[in-house]
């Protein structure tokens, strides 16, 4: 088994060397547009080698990101070439490095490069990377890496979906939103939109919890590099959730019954992630504990508000039933003036309750 693994690694190294040599020769022979295309191809090959244990060279990743510093057409070609390599490879190491390169675009890429990634493909949506069935059974290591490819692809898809919903890339160094401006944007959202953003951020945390077991890859530097980037996203997502939870604290009395139910569900799902997320270095435990404490506190408040809404709805239902009975079994002969006074008085009560509910829903 060890001999087979060493043979595969040797073949991968030879393949990388041959591909890179060919691309380097084309770079020297071609000029202008062809030279730029060949240079991109060479850079991509260097950043996504077949070595299953070593992460991409930082210089190669930086060179790849540099294609987003020129024209939009060049940035588009870079994203398209990266995605083509991801979709056509059957090697788990190459696929994982392609996904890592995509993650680097999200986190460190220029605005133009990120913009091209955000609109790829035109249809967007979930599972558009189409790697849920990825399998590489050439070696035990490749087989185990395949599970990481499937999980990482799904995570990247969720990250892009959430980023589209929020209007900026979560965890991106180049799209850092100032706290005051973010709080101002969030405060202007409708309740339904605020709930939807919170649910999407929580789903990002849930995705992190579904990462594969390391098993024999615990010391694999490639996997460690992946988890490092995901861990940084995790902190960013938790911070974004905190901003929205604080906003909900200001709106508790104005949440509709439906919004309360959906928010309570999101908070419960978030609480279920406690103890299953990544242990991120350089993050104090008291900050993490403070996050979970706030989630539990808000869940309790929303639960009480939901119960209060239930009682209000029950009271309104009883009043409607009482009004209906009085209309059916009241005096058979009524003076017009009595009828007007009774009706307006009853409707005034109902109108008060309805206006209260509607104002809270808004």
Q: Where are the domains of the chain?
A: 47-166, 178-318
Specify the fold of 178-318: Methane Monooxygenase Hydroxylase; Chain G, domain 1 (1.20.58)
Q: How far apart are CA 215 and CA 144, in angstroms?
A: 9
Contact (CB, 8 A) for 156 and 98: no
Same CATH topology for 47-166 and 178-318: the answer is no
Cα separation of 67 and 206, whole Å?
33
Helices (H), the chain: 2-29, 32-47, 58-65, 72-88, 92-108, 111-118, 140-166, 179-187, 191-209, 221-251, 257-272, 285-329, 336-361
> Could you list the pLDDT tens digit for every one of the 362 residues in the chain?
555 555 555 555 555 454 545 444 445 545 554 456 888 999 999 999 999 999 999 999 999 999 999 899 999 999 999 999 999 999 999 999 999 999 999 999 999 999 999 888 755 555 578 899 999 999 989 999 999 999 999 999 999 999 999 999 999 986 665 666 888 899 999 999 999 999 999 999 999 999 998 767 778 999 999 999 999 999 999 999 999 999 999 999 888 889 999 999 999 999 999 999 999 988 888 889 999 999 999 999 998 877 666 655 556 666 666 666 565 555 545 445 444 444 444 444 444 444 544 554 44
Domain 47-166 bears CATH identifier 1.25.40.90 = yes
The predicted model scores a pTM of: 0.78
């Amino acid at each position: 088994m060890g001999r087979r693994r060493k043979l595969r690694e040797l073949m991968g190294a030879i393949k990388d060397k041959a591909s890179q040599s060919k691309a380097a020769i084309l770079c020297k022979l071609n000029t202008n547009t062809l030279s730029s295309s060949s240079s991109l191809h060479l850079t991509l090959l260097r950043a996504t080698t077949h070595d299953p244990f070593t992460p991409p060279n930082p210089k190669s990743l930086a060179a790849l990101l540099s294609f987003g510093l020129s024209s939009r057409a060049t940035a588009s070609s870079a994203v398209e070439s990266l995605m083509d390599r991801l979709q056509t490879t059957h090697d788990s190491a190459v696929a994982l490095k392609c996904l890592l390169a995509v993650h680097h675009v999200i986190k460190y890429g220029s605005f133009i490069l990120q913009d091209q990634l955000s609109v790829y493909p035109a249809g967007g949506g979930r599972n558009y990377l189409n790697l849920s069935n990825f399998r590489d059974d050439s070696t035990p290591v490749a087989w185990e890496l395949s599970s990481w490819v499937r999980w990482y692809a799904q995570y990247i898809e969720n990250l892009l979906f959430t980023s589209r919903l929020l209007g900026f890339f979560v965890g991106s160094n180049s799209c850092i939103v100032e706290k005051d401006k973010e709080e101002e944007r969030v405060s202007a959202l409708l309740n339904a939109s605020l709930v939807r953003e919170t649910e999407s951020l929580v789903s990002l945390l849930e995705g992190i919890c579904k990462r594969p077991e390391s098993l024999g890859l615990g010391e694999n530097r490639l996997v460690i590099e992946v988890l490092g980037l995901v861990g940084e996203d995790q902190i960013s997502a938790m911070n974004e959730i905190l901003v929205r939870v604080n906003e909900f604290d200001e709106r508790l009395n104005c949440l509709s019954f439906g919004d309360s139910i959906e928010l309570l569900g999101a908070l419960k799902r978030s609480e279920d992630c406690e103890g299953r997320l990544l242990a991120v270095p350089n993050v104090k435990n008291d900050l993490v504990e403070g996050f979970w404490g706030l989630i539990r506190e808000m869940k309790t408040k929303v639960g009480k508000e939901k119960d209060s809404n239930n009682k209000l709805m029950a009271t309104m239902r009883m009043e409607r039933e009482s009004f209906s009975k009085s209309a059916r079994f009241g005096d058979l002969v009524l003076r017009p003036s009595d009828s007007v006074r009774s009706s307006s008085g009853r409707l005034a009560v109902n109108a008060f309750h309805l206006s209260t509910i509607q104002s809270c829903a808004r």
